[in-house]
Structure 1
Amino acid sequence: MDIIYPARLNPGDLIGITALASYADPVEMLRSTEYFTQMGLRVEIGQSLFREYGYLAGTDEERARELNDMFQNPEIKAIICARGGYGTARIADLLDYDCIKRNPKIFWGFSDITFLHQAIYKNTGLITFHGPMLSSLNNRSLHPLTLAGFQQLFSPIVMGYTEEISTLTSIVEGTASGAVVGGNLSLIVSSLGTPYEMDTRNKLLLIEEIREEPYRIDRMLRQLLQAGKLTEASGIIVGNFHACVPNTDQSSFTCEEVIDHYLKKANRPALAGFDIGHCSPNIAIPLGLEAELSTEKKTLLWKRAAVI
C-alpha cells in the first residue's frame, strides 16, 4: 500500500471541526476553538456539534456526510475531531474512501476515533494523527506539551518520544521498527472480524485505555493475543491506562500486572509509560508512519516527518 502524507498547515488555513461519535457540549467546544485561532487558523464548525441523537452527535448518515463533505471541501485543510465517546464504527461503512484518497488532508483525534484512523489507513494509506481533541482542550490548566503537539502540523518535524517527557519502563527488551498503528484498546478489539480489522504484522502497536477494570483489560488483551495481533506486531507501545482500577473490594490483579502478563507472553519488544491517551499531557503522534522503538535507549523515534 502506498502511504499518503497530508500537506502541512499554513497560517490562515481553514480547519473543520466535527463530532463523529458522541454529542458534544457546543459551548465548551466553541470555547476550545480559541486555541486554533491563536495558531492563526480559521475554523469551520460542523453541524454535528449542535446535534443530539440519543448518545450520538446526529444520525450515522449525518455524521458520515459531514466528514465526507469536509474531505471533499478543498478549502478545509485539516479535520479536527471535537470528542470521542462512542459511535465511529457505525459510520465506517458510510465513508467515501475514494474521496478521502483523492483529497488527503490532516485528520486528528483519539479514543473512539481509533476506529476511523484504522478504517482510513486501511482503505487509503493516509497518515493520520492520534492527538487531543476539543474536549481535551477545555481544561484551563492545559499542559503545554498537549498543545505543543499541534506544531507538527505546521512544519516537517520528525517526532520523537524520550524520557524527557515521562519515565518509560521496559516490559520486554529489544528494538523494533514498523509503522505505528493502534490507539484505544476497546476499539482495536471491536475491529476484529470486520473489514476494518487492524493489521499489526510488522507494525508497532499502540494501546491505551480509560476506565476499564483490570479483568476487562485482561479479556481484551487475551483476545488480541489469541487473534495473533500481539505476536504479529514488531513491538508494542503502552500508552496511558487512565483510571483502569477495580471498582470493587474483591481481589484483583492491577492493570499493570495484566499488561505485563500478556505482553511477556507475546514476547515482542514492549515499552510502557507513554503519556499518550486520556492523560495530561496527551502527547500527539502520527499513525501509519514508520518509527523505531528501543527499550535499551527508552525511545520511540519516527523516521520522517508526517506532513509535506
Structure 2
Amino acid sequence: MIRYPALNKPVKIGVTAPSSGLHREDHHLLEEAVYRMEEKGFRVVVGQTCWTEFKSKSAHAKSRAEELNLMLQDPSIQFIFPPWGGELLIEILEYMEFDKITPKWILGYSDISTLLLAITLKSGIATAHGTNLVDLRGQVSDPTTAQWEKVLFMKKGEEVIQYPSEKYQLRWQHDDVTDWVYHLSEPTKWKTIKNTPLYIKGRLLGGCIDVIRHLIGTPFGDVRHFQQQYINNEPIIWFFENCQLTVTDLRRTLVQMKLAGWFDHCSGILFGRSAAKESVHDYHILDVYMELAEELTIPIAYDFDCGHMPPQLTLINGAYAEVRVYNNNGNMVKQIFK
C-alpha cells in the first residue's frame, strides 16, 4: 500500500541540497524563493548545504545525507523542498536511513528525481515530481506550476485533475526576468504515436531518465519488489524526461530498462518535452518512441508537461492515475491518492 504524506497548516518546509547547492552569486535566487514561501504562510528552515557548491556538489556525500536524514526525521518538518537539482545526488543514497523515514513530501525534479524514485521504490512512500523551489521565486506562478500546492495538500482518497499547459518555455533566459520566472512562448501539444488516442491507468513512476537509469541493478531501483510489496502488481505508467541524453543513448537506456524488467506490467509511457532530441545520423527521437511502443505493445505519449522545458505537472510517484491524450482535446491526468 502506498503511504501518502499529509500537510497540516502551518506547514514547516525544510530546504536542503542533496545534489547541488548555490554559488554565492546565486544566493539571491534562494532568498527570493524563501521569501515567496513565507508570503504564502509557510515556515521555512534552510540547511547549510544550500549555500555552498564545490566540484558539482553542495557538500560531501555524508554531509548531504546527514542533513537530509535529520530533516526527514524531524517531526516538525512536513515537507522537504530542495532548491534545485544537480549532478551527483546518487552519491548520498548509501548513507540514507531509509528505515527511519516517515511520510513527508519531497518535491523536485532533475537530479532530485533520483532521490524521489529511490524513496518510493524502497519504502512505498509517495514522492512528488514537479517544480524546483528556486523556480517559485517569481511574483506569481503560471497555472500549471501553481498546481503543486493543490496536489500536495490532497488527503488520502482525494483526486486531482491536471490539464496541459497553454504554452511552454523553449529556452531559459535568466537575464530576462519575468513575474513568473519562465518565458512561456510555444503552444503546448501532447502527442501520441501515430496520433492514436491514448487512455491508460496505473501507478505513476518516473523522473529524469538521465539519472534514474543509474538505479538499475542497485538496491534502490528494485521495481519488481515495489510492485509486489506496495501495489499488488498493478500496472505502472512510467513518465520520463530527457535532459541531455543523445537519441542513441536514450535508446540504449530504454533497452536496459526493458531488460531489467522495469517495463513489466507497464500500461503506457509518457515522455516529457526535451531539447535533447537532435538526430544521430538518420535515427530520430520518434524512431525511439515507435520502436519501444512496438516492442512493449503499449501506448506512448510525448511532449508531455514534464521536465526541463517548463511548465510541468506535479506527478506523484506511487499515485494511481488515469491519463488521456486525444488529439489535444480533452487531454488530462487524473491522480487519486489510493
Range class of TM-score, shorter chain: 0.7 to 0.9
Counterpart for residue 54 of structure 1: 55
- Structure 1 unpaired stretches of 5+: none
Maintained 8 Å contact 1:22/1:85: yes
Counterpart for residue 168 of structure 1: 190
Q: Between 146-155 and 16-25, report the one with greater CA deviation.
A: 146-155
Spell out, residue by residue over 1:271-295, the C-alpha distance to the aligned partner (whole angstroms, 9 max, x if none). 2232111122122121111112344
Counterpart for residue 92 of structure 1: 93
Q: Between 257-266 and 279-288, report the one with greater CA deviation.
A: 257-266
Q: What are the residue-to-residue correspondences of 1:1-308 with 2, within 5 Å?
A: 2-10=1-9, 12-24=10-22, 25-100=26-101, 103-137=102-136, 143-156=142-155, 158-163=159-164, 166-171=188-193, 175-199=199-223, 202-241=235-274, 243-246=275-278, 251-295=281-325, 298-304=331-337
Q: How far has the Cα of 1:175 moved from its partner?
A: 3.8
Maintained 8 Å contact 1:231/1:267: no
Q: How far has the Cα of 1:152 moved from its partner?
A: 2.1
Looking at structure 2, the residues matched to 175 and 239 of structure 1 have their Cα atoms a distance apart, in angstroms, of 17
Looking at structure 2, the residues matched to 144 and 234 of structure 1 have their Cα atoms a distance apart, in angstroms, of 28
Equivalent residue pairs, number = 298
Spell out, residue by residue over 1:12-34, the C-alpha distance to the aligned partner (whole angstroms, 9 max, x if none). 32111111112323322222222
The Cα RMSD (Å) is 2.5
Q: TM-score, normalised by structure 1?
A: 0.87
Q: 1:153/1:294 Cα in 2 relative to 1: closer, same or farther (>3 Å)?
A: closer
Maintained 8 Å contact 2:122/2:222: no
Q: 1:87/1:151 Cα in 2 relative to 1: closer, same or farther (>3 Å)?
A: same
Amino acid at match of 2:276: C
Looking at structure 2, the residues matched to 187 and 136 of structure 1 have their Cα atoms a distance apart, in angstroms, of 21
Looking at structure 2, the residues matched to 127 and 196 of structure 1 have their Cα atoms a distance apart, in angstroms, of 15
Looking at structure 2, the residues matched to 141 and 104 of structure 1 have their Cα atoms a distance apart, in angstroms, of 29
Q: 1:147/1:77 Cα in 2 relative to 1: closer, same or farther (>3 Å)?
A: same
Q: How far has the Cα of 1:173 moved from its partner?
A: 5.4
Amino acid at match of 1:227: A
- Structure 2 unpaired stretches of 5+: 167-187, 228-234
Q: 1:108/1:215 Cα in 2 relative to 1: closer, same or farther (>3 Å)?
A: same
Q: Between 18-27 and 192-201, report the one with greater CA deviation.
A: 192-201
Q: TM-score, normalised by structure 2?
A: 0.79
Q: How far has the Cα of 1:193 moved from its partner?
A: 0.8
- Give % identity: 27
Maintained 8 Å contact 1:231/1:268: no
What secondary structure is seen at the aligned counterpart in 2 of 1:212? coil
What secondary structure is seen at the aligned counterpart in 2 of 1:3? coil
Looking at structure 2, the residues matched to 176 and 223 of structure 1 have their Cα atoms a distance apart, in angstroms, of 23
Q: How far has the Cα of 1:257 moved from its partner?
A: 3.2
Maintained 8 Å contact 2:4/2:103: yes
